[in-house]
Amino acid sequence: MNITNRTLLKEFSKDELIDYIEQLHSKIEGLASRMSFIPVTSLDVIKEGDTIMIISDSLKKEILTVELVRFSDDDKTEIIIDKKTNRFFNLGLYLQGKSWVKELKILK
C-alpha cells in the first residue's frame, strides 16, 4: 500500500493503517541501527556540513546542520548553525561546560 496515493485519512481501514505504521516503524528501526551519535570531545572534530544533535540549556533537543566552522588563534572555535540569524555556539566554552549547548553529538 502506498499511503501517498490516498488523499483522505478516512479512506484507510484500521488494519491498513496499522500495517502501514508497522512498515514505517520497521524502516525507521533499520535506519536508526545504522546511525550513531559521536560525542564531541575536542575542538577539531566538527566539520562544515556535519549533522549534529544539540540539547540546549532549556533542554530543547535539535538536529541541525553545521553551516560554518570558524577558528581563531585563541581557541574560540565557533560552530555556526544559522548564518542568517547569527546562531552559533563557542565549542571551547561547550567543552568547558560553560555554553548554552549542554549536550553535543555528531550524527554519523
Count helices and strands (H / E) in the chain.
Answer: 2, 7
SS3 85: coil
Query: Number of C-alpha atoms within 13 angstroms, CB side, residue 2?
Result: 2
pTM over 0.75: no
| pLDDT average, residue stretch 73-99 | 89
Q: What would the grid cell of residue 88 be?
A: 552559533
25-71 residue pLDDT tens: 777 777 667 778 889 998 889 999 999 999 998 888 888 999 999 88
pLDDT score at 14: 79
Instruction: Report the alpha-carbon distance of residue 60 to residue 47 in Å, rounded.
Output: 23
What is the signed CA dihedral for 73, 79, 82, 85, rounded to 10 degrees?
-50
